[in-house]
């Protein structure tokens, strides 16, 4: 057995600290959360899996803790999920009931409300480390969403590794407004503070003014979470960005942070952002450290307990020389236990020797710093006999003063195999004519090498993104065909 996710004494140190968790305008102490969650957990007898419509509310906080205390598996469901996706998640997971907020569509499941002001102090036996804690569903970009099985032990290991990397302690106050149905907002952003014992201020939505207000409160934020879109919006309002200068760490994840945004955050807040890398299947395996270097476009080194390696298409190991690009494999105690009901998909990613095949292309420097080039399926472009990382071309284009956002894809090409195509959002008043496109192509050819230049540049008003701010490159590839 490893260590329990929520220890029996996780309220023992400061049970009556007010505003231990704040969601919007509602605050609960540690004792409030445990008392309400324990009361709710007593109604879960006979259930093994419950769905939680993860609206940003205290009900969601209490519902998640209640299920974990009782050893019942939590199935987080996005509040805005469509009818087909919702039914797939419920049917595939085997969720027997809803717990917490009233669901938008119960899909024939009973609803168990959470009584926020009920209290019980009964102690449940701690679930063993191999007990399934969460079934979280992937975004479904390559088919129906797959349920990732995570245990109490794997979640605890993941949080503890980040507490080490970020020097995260009970003295911190974490501020974010991220959704509570993904790893970033739910595991790191809710279970993290509960396990570490730090305060949590969830702003409901990650607006710049809300983050700035949290910096001025009675318990100012010391750590802030955001996806790149959040940080981009914050630096667009310099007065709000400067208010975060009193924080200890500004952390970005879920998608690559553009170098221009990295630099703007550093200039306005005097903090270089901490970038990290992970997946629903693995939690966070790479991160810059609180006491280590941070570089735009690089996601740091392995966190405690993690090993990494690169392999080529033949399965042979590649050197960590900062140049070789291959598929990133990771190994560590925070990895999930597989995909629910998907033995073939599980076998394809969870390898027999304990490694997980991420499907991401990366390079690793001799000192251990990692750079993610992108998905092998869309971001490793084989053009004219060369292997080109879309991320490297994107980073180069983002260095051009006219470029605000960019996505690079590699549609099929009869001559080259794949051709490099860039979709560019320019800054206000920048030119979008043929000469501007040629200027961007020449910029990459000069900064990198000629074979890495885009063969086409398309100017667009915006890039297609999912709920977490990730660019949906599949949609761009369909446009390019």
pLDDT of amino acid 448: 84
Which of 36-40, 95-99, 216-220 has the lowest average pLDDT?
Answer: 216-220
- Tell me the CB-side half-sphere exposure of residue 96, using CA atoms within 13 A: 9
Q: What share of the chain is helix, strand, coil (3-state, %, to 5)?
A: 30, 25, 45
**Per-residue model confidence (pLDDT) at position 11:** 46
Quote the tokens at residue 320: 């960590």
Quote the CA–CA distance of 76 and 92 in Å, as a whole number: 13
Q: Is the pLDDT of residue 142 over 60?
A: no
pLDDT at site 377:
75
The CATH code that applies to domain 21-372 is: 3.40.50.12780
Mean pLDDT of the region 248-254: 95
| Share above pLDDT 70 across residues of the chain, in percent, rounded to a whole number | 95
> Is the pLDDT reported for residue 5 higher than 90?
no
129, 2 contact by CB (below 8 A): yes
pLDDT of res. 140:
58
Which of 117-126, 309-318, 428-437 bottoms out in mean pLDDT, i.e. has the lowest?
A: 117-126
pLDDT for 8: 40
pLDDT tens digits, one per residue of 356-400: 999 999 999 999 999 998 888 777 788 887 778 788 888 889 989
Once rounded to an integer, what is the mean pLDDT over residues 16-38? Answer: 87
| Backbone angles phi and psi of 52, in degrees to 5 | -125, 115
What mean pLDDT do residues 112-135 have?
91
Q: Which H or E run includes 67?
A: helix 58-70
- What is the chain's mean pLDDT, rounded? 90
pLDDT on residue 210: 97
Residue 428: how many other CB atoms lie within 10 Å: 6
pLDDT band per the 50, 70, 90 thresholds, residue 143: low
More confident residue, 1 or 118: 118
The CA distance from 285 to 270, in Å, is 26
Report the pLDDT value the prediction gives residue 189, as an integer from 0 to 100: 96
Residue from 28, 44, 47 nearest 36 by CA = 28
- Say if residue 480's pLDDT is above 90: no
Residue 258 or residue 238, greater confidence? 238
Average pLDDT over residues 267-293: 97
Rounded to 5 degrees, what angle do the CA atoms 314, 319, 322 make? Answer: 120
- Mean predicted confidence (pLDDT) in 270-286: 97
pLDDT (average), residues 324-339: 95
Q: Which of 327, 79, 58 lies closest to 181 in space, CA to CA?
A: 79
Residue 4: which of 70, 50, 60, 48 has the closest Cα?
70
Q: 434-447 vs 390-398: helix axis angle to the nearest 10?
A: 110
- The pLDDT of residue 125 is 82
**Residue 114 CB neighbours (<10 A):** 24
Domain residue limits, the chain? 21-372, 384-480
pLDDT value at residue 115: 95
Please tell me the distance from the alpha carbon of residue 244 to that of residue 252, in angstroms, as a whole number.
Answer: 14
Which has more confidence, 250 or 322?
Answer: 250
pLDDT in tens, 170-192: 999 999 999 999 999 999 999 99
Distance, in Å, from the CA atom of 365 to the CA atom of 372, rounded to the nearest integer, reads 12
Alpha carbons 294 and 411: distance in angstroms, whole number: 33
> Can you give the pLDDT at residue 373?
84
The pLDDT of 206-222, averaged and rounded, is: 94
Higher pLDDT, residue 380 or 412: 412
**pLDDT > 90 in the chain, percent:** 71
Say yes or no: domain 384-480 is CATH 2.40.480.10. no
**Cβ proximity of 225 and 184 under 8 Å:** yes
């Amino acid at each position: 057995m490893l260590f329990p996710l929520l220890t029996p004494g996780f309220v023992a140190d400061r049970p009556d600290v007010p505003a231990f968790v704040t969601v919007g305008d509602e605050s609960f102490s540690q004792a409030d959360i445990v008392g309400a969650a324990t009361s709710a957990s007593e109604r879960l007898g006979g259930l093994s899996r419950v769905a939680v419509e993860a609206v940003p509310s205290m009900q969601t906080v209490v519902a998640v803790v209640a299920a974990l205390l009782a050893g019942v598996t939590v199935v987080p469901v996005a509040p805005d999920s469509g009818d087909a996706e919702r039914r797939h998640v419920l049917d595939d997971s085997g969720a027997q009931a809803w717990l917490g907020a009233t669901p938008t569509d119960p899909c024939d499941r009973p609803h168990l409300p959470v009584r926020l002001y009920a209290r019980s102090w009964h102690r449940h036996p701690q679930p063993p480390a191999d007990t399934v804690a969460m079934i979280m569903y992937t975004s479904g970009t390559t088919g129906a969403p797959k349920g990732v099985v995570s245990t109490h032990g794997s979640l605890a290991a993941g949080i503890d590794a980040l507490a080490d990397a970020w020097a995260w302690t009970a003295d911190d106050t974490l501020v974010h407004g991220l959704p509570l149905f993904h790893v970033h907002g739910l595991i790191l952003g809710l279970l993290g503070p509960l396990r570490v014992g730090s305060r949590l201020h969830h702003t409901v939505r990650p607006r710049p003014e809300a983050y700035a207000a949290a910096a001025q409160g009675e318990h100012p934020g010391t750590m802030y979470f955001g996806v790149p879109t959040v940080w981009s919006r914050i630096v667009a309002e310099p007065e709000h960005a400067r208010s975060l200068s009193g924080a200890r760490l500004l952390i970005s994840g879920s998608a690559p942070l553009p170098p221009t945004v990295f630099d703007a955050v550093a200039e306005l807040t005097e903090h270089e952002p901490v970038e990290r890398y992970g997946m629903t299947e693995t939690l966070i395996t790479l991160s810059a450290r609180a006491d280590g270097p941070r570089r735009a476009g690089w996601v740091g080194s392995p966190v405690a307990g993690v090993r990494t390696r690169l392999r080529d298409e033949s399965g042979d190991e590649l050197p960590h020389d900062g140049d070789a690009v291959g598929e990133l494999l990771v190994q560590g105690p925070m990895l999930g236990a597989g995909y629910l009901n998907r033995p073939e998909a599980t076998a394809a990613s969870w390898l027999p020797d304990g490694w997980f095949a991420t499907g991401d292309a990366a390079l690793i420097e001799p000192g251990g710093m990692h750079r993610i080039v992108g998905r092998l399926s869309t971001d490793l472009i084989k053009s004219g006999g060369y292997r080109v990382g879309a991320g490297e071309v994107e980073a180069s284009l983002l260095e051009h003063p006219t470029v605000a956002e960019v996505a690079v894809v590699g549609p099929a090409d009869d001559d080259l195999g794949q051709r490099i195509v860039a979709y560019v959002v320019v800054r206000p008043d920048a030119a979008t004519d043929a000469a501007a496109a040629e200027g961007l192509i020449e910029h990459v050819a000069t900064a990198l090498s000629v074979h890495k230049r885009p063969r086409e540049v398309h100017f667009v008003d915006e890039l297609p993104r999912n709920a977490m701010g990730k660019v949906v490159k599949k949609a761009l590839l369909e446009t390019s065909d």
